[in-house]
């Protein structure tokens, strides 16, 4: 590819050092662009950062890196080098006292639900096949169509309602389309009888994990950027993107200081950008004000035991507890626990700002988590040594039914602003995994460097025009074309 000289004159500010922002900076700095990254927290990596706790390393909830996009995997390997291991994925669903394999396996469901309930599941699945629902616009409709009503109620409804805080018939089908894709009961049955070995996204049973936690990748990018003439400035919050008319001129720090840039890449919540501008048309402002994020509370518990359970994480569907997922960091790579004998679990809670849960103090949240652990009884009375709370605002963009009707006018408005690129999970209002955000960062850099015309809004939708597919294995990339 040809790089033009104008890159030497470009001065780019990047807001947020999560996977999207720091990847973009990493790619730009390689081509000699002047880049400054501004991160409000004390560490890079965003939601995928790794923190130190009780002498061990933990992520913000479980972080499995997975991509079948060769571009993303090559970049990840370029940064990780050989410092990763393949981790066997074991994730199960806790429902009414039983642990079900996830992704669901037909035989497993049969043995745990019993013949009668399994029969009901099969009947409701077949009913969908013979008399399919005509609409698949909501999460409930989409999943019912794929799995039948009964399985939807057991395996998807309670968990999704805990996560999003809204009824599944108010949740857009996009969430299912992005996360469950084409997997269905039919596939599970075919896999059971080995009729067809379906390599589905949710069925991949191994993943590459960095020896120092998922955040290692982004910490290394930071070092590279700083060593090659860029600046990653942590503890620096950006209040506003400055513009004159429809042209970006720079940024305003939370301290009030103004800095000039001719391009800004933003991963801050899309709604925050709009809120700070007073010349945005009312219709666009109204749309942006309807877009909402869901918060996460992580309660870490340090348990005096080593072999509590084998899962990397367990989805908690049971309605008798508020927690939705429990991760076990002892089951990623041994390097994380750095020789310690205890096990750190992270219990996830999801809520809105005005929920009682968000207002609880750390002591109350730790007590709640301890009680719920007892209710589920997966630690079998092992001693809890300590607790720690981590609150994450604006963690999940909420895909309310028809949310795209609100998002589209905001996208169109932002597209008119010269010198602005908006990417990332909060930035683009996309329920991204790391790979989507890394790809957004890479393609945003190409747009800036070569004036490429990648439509960044389309990443992490059903749109996929990329032809080279590969997976990361213990020895590097494996072609899967």
Ligand X SMILES: Cc1cc2nc3c(=O)[nH]c(=O)nc-3n(C[C@H](O)[C@H](O)[C@H](O)COP(=O)(O)OP(=O)(O)OC[C@H]3O[C@@H](n4cnc5c(N)ncnc54)[C@H](O)[C@@H]3O)c2cc1C
Residues forming contacts to ligand X in the complex (CB under 6 A) are: 15-21, 38-41, 46-48, 60-65, 237-238, 267-268, 296, 348, 395, 424-426, 432-435, 437
**At closest approach, how far in Å is the CB of 15 from ligand X?**
5
**At closest approach, how far in Å is the CB of 425 from ligand X?**
4
**At closest approach, how far in Å is the CB of 395 from ligand X?**
5
CB closer to ligand X out of 178 and 406: 178
Residue 441 gets which letter from DSSP?
A: H
**At closest approach, how far in Å is the CB of 354 from ligand X?**
20
CB closer to ligand X out of 61 and 230: 61
CA–CA separation, 327 and 393 (whole Å): 20
CB closer to ligand X out of 146 and 436: 436
Closest C-alpha among 222, 219, 223, 199 to residue 210:
219
CB closer to ligand X out of 145 and 436: 436
Sign of the C-alpha dihedral computed for residues 428, 32, 80 and 206 taken in this order: positive
Rg, C-alpha atoms of the chain: 23
CB closer to ligand X out of 48 and 442: 48
CB closer to ligand X out of 165 and 424: 424
CB closer to ligand X out of 137 and 231: 231
**At closest approach, how far in Å is the CB of 136 from ligand X?**
25
Residue 201 CB coordination number (10 Å):
15
CB closer to ligand X out of 147 and 315: 315
**At closest approach, how far in Å is the CB of 209 from ligand X?**
10
DSSP string, 143-205: HHHHH-HHHHIIIIIHHHHHHHSS-TTSBBTHHHHHHTTT--HHHHHHHHTTSS----GGG--
DSSP string, 353-421: TTSHHHH--HHHHHHHHHHHHHHHT-STTPPEEEEEEEEEEEEEE--BTTHHHHHHHHHHHHHTSBTEE
Structure tokens at 88: 């066997």
CA–CA separation, 316 and 99 (whole Å): 9
CB closer to ligand X out of 49 and 149: 49
**At closest approach, how far in Å is the CB of 175 from ligand X?**
14
CB closer to ligand X out of 109 and 163: 163
Structure tokens at 382: 């092992």
**At closest approach, how far in Å is the CB of 345 from ligand X?**
13
CA–CA separation, 67 and 436 (whole Å): 8
CA–CA separation, 298 and 447 (whole Å): 36
**At closest approach, how far in Å is the CB of 26 from ligand X?**
12
**At closest approach, how far in Å is the CB of 232 from ligand X?**
11
Closest C-alpha among 250, 247, 248 to residue 260:
250
**At closest approach, how far in Å is the CB of 90 from ligand X?**
14
By the 10 Å C-beta count (0-12 exposed, 13-18 middle, 19+ buried), 153 is classed as: middle
**At closest approach, how far in Å is the CB of 226 from ligand X?**
17
Q: Are 227 and 219 in contact (CB under 8 A)?
A: no
* Helix count and strand count (H, E) for the chain: 15, 21
DSSP string, 283-301: HHHHHHHH--EEEEEEEEE
- Give me the residues paired with residue 58 across strands: 51
CB closer to ligand X out of 151 and 180: 180
CB closer to ligand X out of 125 and 207: 207
CA–CA separation, 284 and 275 (whole Å): 10
Sign of the C-alpha dihedral computed for residues 278, 282, 287 and 291 taken in this order: positive
Non-local CB neighbours of 40 within 8 Å, separated by 6+ positions: 16, 235, 236, 237, 238, 254
């Amino acid at each position: 590819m040809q790089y033009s000289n104008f890159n030497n004159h470009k001065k780019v500010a990047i807001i947020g050092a999560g996977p999207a922002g720091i990847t973009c900076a990493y790619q730009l700095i390689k081509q000699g662009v002047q880049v400054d990254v501004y991160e409000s927290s004390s560490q890079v990596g965003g939601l995928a950062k790794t923190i130190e706790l009780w002498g061990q390393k933990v992520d913000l909830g479980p972080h499995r890196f997975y991509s079948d996009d060769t571009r993303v995997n090559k970049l990840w390997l370029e940064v990780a080098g050989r410092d990763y291991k393949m981790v066997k994925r074991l994730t199960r669903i806790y429902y009414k006292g039983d642990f079900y394999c996830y992704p669901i396996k037909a035989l497993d469901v049969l043995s745990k639900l019993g013949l009668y309930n399994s029969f009901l599941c099969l009947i409701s699945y077949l009913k969908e096949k013979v008399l399919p629902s005509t609409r698949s616009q909501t999460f409930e409709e989409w999943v019912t169509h794929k799995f039948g009503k009964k399985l939807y109620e057991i395996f998807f409804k309670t968990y999704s309602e805990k996560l999003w805080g809204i009824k599944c018939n108010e949740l857009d089908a996009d969430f299912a389309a992005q996360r469950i894709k084409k997997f269905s009961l039919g596939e599970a049955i075919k896999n059971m009888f080995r009729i067809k070995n379906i390599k589905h996204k949710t069925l991949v049973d191994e993943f590459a994990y960095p020896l120092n936690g998922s955040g290692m990748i982004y910490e290394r990018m930071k070092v590279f950027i700083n060593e090659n003439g860029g600046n990653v400035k942590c503890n620096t919050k950006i209040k506003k993107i400055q513009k004159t008319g429809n042209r970006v001129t720079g940024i305003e720090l939370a301290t009030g200081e103004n800095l000039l840039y001719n391009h800004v890449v933003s991963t801050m919540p899309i709604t925050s950008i709009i809120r700070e501008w007073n010349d945005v048309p009312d219709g666009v402002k109204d749309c942006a004000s309807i877009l909402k994020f869901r918060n996460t509370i992580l309660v870490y518990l340090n348990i005096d035991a080593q072999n509590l359970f084998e899962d990397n994480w367990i989805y908690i569907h049971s309605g008798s507890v508020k927690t939705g997922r429990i991760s076990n960091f002892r089951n990623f790579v041994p390097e994380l626990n750095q020789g310690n004998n205890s096990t750190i679990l992270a219990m996830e809670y999801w809520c809105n700002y005005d929920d009682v849960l968000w207002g609880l103090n750390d002591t109350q949240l730790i007590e709640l988590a301890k009680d719920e652990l007892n209710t589920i009884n997966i630690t079998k009375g092992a001693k809890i040594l300590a607790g720690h709370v981590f609150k994450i605002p604006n963690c999940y963009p909420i895909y309310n039914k028809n949310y795209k009707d609100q998002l589209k006018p905001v996208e169109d408005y932002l597209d008119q602003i010269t010198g602005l690129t908006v990417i990332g999970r909060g930035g683009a209002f996309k329920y991204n995994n790391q790979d989507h955000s890394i790809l957004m960062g890479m393609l945003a850099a190409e747009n800036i460097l070569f004036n490429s015309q990648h439509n960044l809004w389309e990443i992490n939708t059903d749109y996929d025009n990329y032809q080279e597919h590969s997976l990361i294995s213990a020895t590097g990339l494996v072609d899967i074309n």
